[in-house]
Structure 1
Amino acid sequence: MEARYYLNQNVLNAELGNNPSYVWRGIVQGLAALKAGARRKIGNGEGTMVWDVPWLPDVENGFISTLEHDQRTNVKVSNLMVAGEKRWDAELLYDVFCSRDAELIRRIPIPMGDNADSWYWMLDDKGVFTVKSCYRWIQGECSNDYSDMWKKLWAIKLPEKVTNFLWRLCKGCLPTNVALLSRHVDIDARYETIWEIFARIFQRSTRDQSVEIAMEAQIKEKDRRNRDEVGERIWKPPAAGWLKINIDVALFLNGNIGVGDVIRDENSRFVAARGKKIAGAWKAREAEAIGLKEALSWVIDRGYKQCVIETDSYALAAACNGRPGEALFGTIVMDCIQLLKHINQVLVVFIYRSANSVVHRLAKAAYFMSDAGSGMSLHLSSLIMY
């Protein structure tokens, strides 16, 4: 099939051709959906041409938008990296590409190993193509923001009838006057139903804000019922002979992230802390993984052997103890897993934000550092604990 329909080119650029078979006709019809989510995952960059395939992490357009000049033909992605180092040449990126392309490239993690370039499906959190995710995209529902929103909604621990009400509210399925009249139901439109009142309140908010309202209600309800409950929501010291490293990141509007790490021992005594600002407009999941990678490198340099690493990112803790996936998030997690092998005994566990408040403040304080990439180590007197 390759020799007949797309010889010497990528299948995503293939055309219907002359006298195509029924099978090939069906494949070509599905290519539009495939192109929407298929992205090249960068390893060493040797197998990807800069202008030929979609490799940018952008749902709308994965191709480089900067015009290709004659002197830039046949340029590999590896040419955009600093020679002998696993990082992008930032100066070159902003010289060659428009700001949109340069910022997107900087968001792509470069793995530590000499991995070959491959493909992943960016419309799925794990980077794996599924018929379900493709179907949802075709139906116009595969928005990353909305899919995250629905996951948050159904994860809220409220009575089922409440979450079902919120879902119907967001989907516009409530029997409001407008909805009933649109279905030719004979009603007295002079009066508002209770559904109408609720819908009018929520229509003033975005969908994400509606979910945030529900999540806030969940937190207040749980606090009311479990006001005296303690446990994983409170920081606890590690076992004898172990150290506990709390990590967190903060995302800044200027395109950088702040990383914070705090180490304490079995007696709850402060051992060390560090804050660092890193350039790159990362999404939340990728930023959390970058924070763990930075923390692991720091722990290895200090020679610690028995460590519990706590993060308030459930997705990160689950990925480190399971299957990272094929997406960009998985690329960073795989680097973290390789670093974990250099520590004798180590655990990566999830905790709630309330048990991670100290390091969260430290990550936000990284905003005031002068340069991205710079870091600071703190002494006990510099760290305010609550």
Structure 2
Amino acid sequence: MGFRDLYAFNLALLAKQAWKLVQKKDSLFYRIYKAKYFRTTTFLDAEMGHNPSYDWRSLLSTRDVILASSKWQIRNSKTIKVVSHEWLPRPPRLNGDVPEDICVQELINQQTKQWDRGKVTSPFDEATHQEILAIPLTLVEDDKVIWKANKVQDFSVKSA
């Protein structure tokens, strides 16, 4: 069949299933795994747990592949962490200490639905806060993880 690296191919196929846990939240597959393995969090933040199945271990092993080739697209900004999630073109450069768990939503003025310039300029350097201010805000849908390894921004085994 011409497979060059069966391990990489298998990992890419598993990552395709894991991508469904990130994107297809209305599917039966998602609802079953959500109920069993990550009730209070998302797949990207889920932990191994005690006595996990072989399938769950395998899906979690692909999370690094997904995180390395994807980024967050800001919509309602409720789930994106400022420091630990990739949501900017480059990693944010900080001027001071920013708590690990601060969400992007806290950088937005909720009355005007625009970036709060005071909150954006103080913790970040000039280049980073200019990148943040250049991001348009829609604030109508849930935040979305997009695949940055291809132009259509959707997972493919080939690009993985």
Judged with a 3 Å threshold, the aligned counterparts in structure 2 of structure 1 residues 126 and 85 are, in CA distance, closer, same or farther, namely farther
What is the CA-CA distance between 1:43 and the residue it aligns to? 1.5
Match of 2:98 among 39, 62, 68: 68
Aligned to 1:14: 46
- Structure 2 regions of 5+ residues with no counterpart? 1-32
Aligned to 1:196: none
- TM-score by length of structure 2 reads 0.59
Deviation digits for residues 331-386 of structure 1, max 9, x if unmatched?
xxxxxxxxxxxxxxxxxxxxxxxxxxxxxxxxxxxxxxxxxxxxxxxxxxxxxxxx
What is the CA-CA distance between 1:27 and the residue it aligns to? 0.6
Aligned to 1:120: 146
Aligned to 1:91: 118
Aligned length: 126
Quick check: 2:98–2:123 contact (8 Å CA) kept in 1?
no
Rounded to whole Å, the distance in 1 between the matches of 2:140 and 2:57 is 38
Structure with higher RCO (Cα < 8 A, 6+ apart): 2
- TM-score by length of structure 1 reads 0.28
The answer on 1:34 being equivalent to 2:66 is yes
Paired residues for 1:240-279 under 5 Å: none
What is the CA-CA distance between 1:8 and the residue it aligns to? 2.1
The answer on 1:48 being equivalent to 2:79 is yes
Rounded to whole Å, the distance in 1 between the matches of 2:98 and 2:80 is 12
Judged with a 3 Å threshold, the aligned counterparts in structure 2 of structure 1 residues 106 and 131 are, in CA distance, closer, same or farther, namely farther
What is the CA-CA distance between 1:31 and the residue it aligns to? 0.8
The answer on 1:108 being equivalent to 2:138 is no
Paired residues for 1:1-386 under 5 Å: 1-45=33-77, 47-51=78-82, 54-58=85-89, 66=94, 67-69=97-99, 75-99=102-126, 101-111=128-138, 114-134=140-160
Q: Percent identity?
A: 25
- For residue 117 of structure 2, what is the amino acid of its counterpart? A
- Structure 1 regions of 5+ residues with no counterpart? 135-386
Question: Residue 145 of structure 2 aligns to a residue in which SS?
Answer: strand
What is the CA-CA distance between 1:26 and the residue it aligns to? 1.5
Q: CA RMSD in A?
A: 3.1
Structure with the higher fraction of residues in helix conformation: 1
- For residue 95 of structure 1, what is the amino acid of its counterpart? S
Structure with the higher fraction of residues in strand conformation: 1
